[in-house]
Amino acid sequence: MKLFQCSNCENPVVFENSICISCGHYLGYSSFHNQIVSLDPNQSEWSIPSFNGDTYKYCTNNLHGTCNWLVTPDENYGFCLACSLNRTIPDLDTSENWERWKQIEFAKHRLVYQLLRLRLPIVSKMANSHIGLCFDFVSIENKDNKKTGHVNGVITILITEADAATREKVKQEMKEHYRTLLGHFRHEVGHYFRDRLVRDNRKALSNFREVFGDDTVSYQDSLQNYYANGSKQNWQNFYISKYASSHAWEDWAET
């Protein structure tokens, strides 16, 4: 992730900073301009000369300390592009859940930043239920027994994945080299974009099968086989991870 600069004092600042520790100005990120700007701490709406003089305010989730993105006053009910994708957020009754959600939001904002750089289409499922994308951040004892995964544009993330100790434990149990929140987001959003960009496009699907293999074999059976018998032999020669050898869709998402 690139370093940004406070536009008031030129101090280097990072993507998640909402205040400049050098000059004390607020900081806000514009996904449209891909810039962080410094803001007068005595105001709540800012007319920003470098953004054509348009007026901006913080995304509503700034109230929770989970977002430093800027929105125009009429945008998405006050939510930025990244936060407009949230369908379910954790119950914020406990500080533990708030801390987990904050870590999840940091990772999700980095994901959306990267999707924008890749010029991938980002549409909220709440705006378009057919092709849109949304996130459910749920606790492990959620009523539908949902797990981290992707189904039809809905990406579920179990909030315990935000606990470093829990994540490390699972990583060791599954003998993984890499397990991060951002990694989960990248993997699951990969499934979403395969559905959107590859599944119904004959040419793209043929290219997909050339690289990732036959995806017409049963996905359920393949995963069952993977969990019962482990990865394919010599997977290192053909796949980016063990799990990628389970099925062509997982190969794509892992890659």
Candidate segments 18-26, 163-171, 203-211, 216-224, binder of Zn ion by CB under 5 A:
18-26
Among 80, 104, 138, 159, binds Zn ion (CB under 5 A): 80
Q: How many of the chain's residues bind Zn ion (CB under 5 A)?
A: 15
Q: Which of 101, 123, 99 is nearest to 189 (CA)?
A: 123
Candidate segments 19-27, 168-176, 195-203, 223-231, binder of Zn ion by CB under 5 A:
19-27
222 binds Zn ion per the rule CB under 5 A: no
Smallest separation, CB 140 to Zn ion (Å): 19
Among 37, 39, 67, 155, binds Zn ion (CB under 5 A): 67
Window 100 to 139, contacts with Zn ion (CB under 5 A): none
20 binds Zn ion per the rule CB under 5 A: yes
59 binds Zn ion per the rule CB under 5 A: yes
The CA distances from residue 130 to 81, 89, 104, 117, 204, in Å, are 18, 22, 25, 24, 20
**d(C-alpha 200, C-alpha 194), whole Å:** 9
CB 162 within 8 Å of CB 153: no
11 binds Zn ion per the rule CB under 5 A: yes
**d(C-alpha 174, C-alpha 83), whole Å:** 31
8 binds Zn ion per the rule CB under 5 A: yes
Q: What is the CA radius of gyration of the chain?
A: 20
Smallest separation, CB 26 to Zn ion (Å): 10
Beta-bridge mates of residue 56: 46
